[in-house]
Amino acid sequence: MRFDGVWFRYGRRADWTLREVDATAEPGATVVVLGRNGAGKSTLLQLAAGVLRPARGVISGRPETIGWVPERFPADQPFTAGDYLRRMARVRAVADPHAVDRWLERLLLTEHIDTRLADLSKGTAQKVGLAQALLLPPGLLVLDEPWEGLDAVARTLIPEIVAEVTEAGGTVLVSDHRGEITALPGAIHWTVSEHGVHAEAPTAPTDSDEVIVEVAVRRSEATQAVAELRAAGHRVLRIQNPEVRRAHSPIEPTPDREAQQTERGSR
């Protein structure tokens, strides 16, 4: 997905919120959007997701399937959590009949299935918003401050889900003032300012108490090993075996990635 000379403002007479944005997000990339308050981070994310249209310039190469999670999920709707997700599955023509139940379980929402959206806490409502964004494997997942209001367990799932989406060939754009996504291998930074967007690779963290350790386990023990690592509070960033990955994540390769894999296999 490419931004070419993109400008945006809220109204013809308003000041420009974004100026001359030139940036590219490749398939499989994690892009962390940074900048001071009011710099235009949320505006940039809404442009990427197609919620807003640029006043000038062009955004090209946007994937067909987009998952969009705003900073505040619009919970003022007359549905329960379960009804809302089932309706969204129908609207988005989700073919997998188990997609809703899998994400309810994955995001620890099962006990809230019959709770009205308006009665959910902010963090729980945010998880419902995340679930609807993932009902179809996203070619582009856009997250605006996804940690706000989440409990500790749910916060550990965000980096895992981001890694799973990118491993399946999707692109992730996320605003992250907490610094949690920057630890993922390959994450890049887009810094938003009045001068546009500056893209750069992140510097390695020097004060993190986390270390990335690659572990190989027997196929027969993989599911138990992943469950035990997560139960102990560790983050599982990647699962290479497709069968085990599917058991722990509903995210399948995007059509573009499947086509690439088929092409490589036929050579």
For residue range 196-255, list pLDDT tens digits in order.
899 887 655 545 567 778 788 888 888 788 777 876 767 776 676 656 655 555 566 555
Residue 109 contacts residue 59 (beta carbons within 8 Å): no
- Band (266; pLDDT cuts 50, 70, 90): very low
- Of residues 263 and 39, more confidently modeled: 39
Does residue 114 lie within any of the structural domains?
no
SS3 assignment, position 166 = helix
- Does the pLDDT of residue 263 top 50, yes or no? no
Query: What mean pLDDT value characterizes the chain?
Result: 84
- Residue 173 lies in domain: 2-65+137-203+212-266
How many domains, in total, are found in the chain? 1
Alpha-carbon dihedral 125, 251, 62, 122, rounded to 10 degrees: 10
- Three-state SS at 178: coil
The reply to whether 143 falls in a domain is yes
Domain contains 24: yes
More confident residue, 213 or 145: 145
Task: Provide the whole-model pTM.
Answer: 0.78
Q: How confident is the model at residue 261 (pLDDT cuts 50, 70, 90)?
A: very low
Q: List the CATH number of the domain containing 38.
A: 3.40.50.300
pLDDT tens, position by position, 64-110: 999 999 988 888 899 999 999 999 999 999 999 999 999 999 999 99
Q: Which residues of 20-49 are buried (b: 16+ CB within 10 A; e: fewer)?
A: ebebebebbbbbbbbbeeebbbbbbbbbbb
Percent of the chain with pLDDT over 70: 81
C-alpha R_g of the chain: 19
Can you give the pLDDT at residue 251?
62
Residue 220 is assigned to a structural domain of this protein: yes
pLDDT of residue 231: 66
pLDDT surpassing 80 at residue 38: yes
Q: Which of 238, 232, 234, 228 is nearest to 211 (CA)?
A: 234
Determine, yes or no, domain membership for 236.
Answer: yes
pLDDT over 80 at 25, yes or no: yes
Helices marked H in 175-254 — which ranges? 222-231, 242-248
